[in-house]
Amino acid sequence: MKKIFKNNVWVMALILAVSSLAVSLTGCGGSGGNGGGFSVGGVSLGTSARYAILAKTGVANIPVSSITGDVGLSANSRTAFTGWAYTADTTDTYLTSTQVTGKLFAADNVGGSTIPDLTTAVNNMETAYTDAAGRIASSAATTNVGAGTLTSLTLAPGVYEWGTAVTIPTDLTLNGSATDVWIFKIAQTLDMAAAKNIILSGGALSKNIYWQVAGAVTIGANTHFEGNILGKTSITLGNKTTINGRLMAQTAVNLDANTVTIP
């Protein structure tokens, strides 16, 4: 009986070890493509999530742009909304523009709770930036991908990190499910070439994509972009560029006949 019991103990131990290894390997799997494949939690945007565009120093626009979602500006005043042809409501709580399906809010809107609401939203935007910047890269495979040049790649979900600038000279595909998350941490600038596309496949959603960029963001003309840009400095879109996502800049956002749709 003792021998049988000892044998059973060894068998159970072996089964547990194999099970643990299987779980570990499952966590390292991917949705295809380069790197990623780890379960990643999203970045909380707090109250800043209501804005398609949120900036601190200005939102400049060469008409005609089309924005679906609210536009916020704080701590600067409405004079830093350039190219919008806006009108204030009777209580001066918000502004409206034919280029915005939503409302514009500035730090000098004296009606309602606009001023404290904007202060909270900007604080939440900065907290989200810090959260994304503090994430740890999923693996060595998601660190310094392409030495900062992302040419014809398909990227699985995960946390990606570069200590350099990042350039996207071609179409870029993000492949994953509707619950997968991508966080891109970029220590310098982000540039995407003109007439290119970020393509979502496998059910991936733009609301689950976060671009944390320490330097300026410049997206070329006639390009399509996906995801929430958390910029430490400025975000500039080229002529007729479109984005499904949010433009959240700790300085200014510059538009040129663009289409921005909040996810």
Residues 180 and 81 in one domain: yes
CA–CA separation, 51 vs 249, rounded Å? 12
10, pLDDT greater than 70: no
Residue 15 lies in a domain: yes
* Cβ(214)–Cβ(185) below 8 Å: no
Q: Is 83 left (phi over 0), alpha (psi -120 to 50) or beta?
A: left
What's the rounded mean pLDDT across residues 209-229?
Answer: 98
The reported pLDDT for the residue numbered 35 is 52
The reported pLDDT for the residue numbered 40 is 75
Residues 178 and 114 in one domain: yes
The reported pLDDT for the residue numbered 34 is 53
The reported pLDDT for the residue numbered 6 is 45
Q: What is the pLDDT of residues 114-124, one digit of tens each?
A: 999 999 999 99
CA–CA separation, 210 vs 217, rounded Å? 13
CA–CA separation, 261 vs 234, rounded Å? 19
173, pLDDT greater than 70: yes
Residue 34 lies in a domain: no
37, pLDDT greater than 70: no
Residues 89 and 11 in one domain: no
Residues 22 and 115 in one domain: no
Query: What pLDDT band is residue 28 in, cutting at 50, 70 and 90?
Result: very low
The more confidently predicted of residues 208 and 30 is 208
Alpha-carbon distances, residue 182 vs 58, 94, 102, 106, 191 (angstroms): 28, 33, 27, 31, 18
Residues 176 and 149 in one domain: yes
Long-range Cβ contact pairs of 4-7 (< 8 A, separation 24 or more): none
Residue 37 lies in a domain: no
* Domains of the chain: total: 2
Q: What's the pTM?
A: 0.86
208, pLDDT greater than 90: yes
Mean pLDDT over each residue of the chain, to the nearest integer: 89
Domain hosting residue 4, numbered range:
1-29
Residue 78 lies in a domain: yes
Residues 24 and 145 in one domain: no
Residue 104 DSSP code: E
Residues 209 and 88 in one domain: yes
Helix (H) or strand (E) holding 10: helix 2-27
What's the rounded mean pLDDT across residues 187-212?
Answer: 98
CA–CA separation, 248 vs 257, rounded Å? 18
Residue where the block lists tokens 């996502």? 245
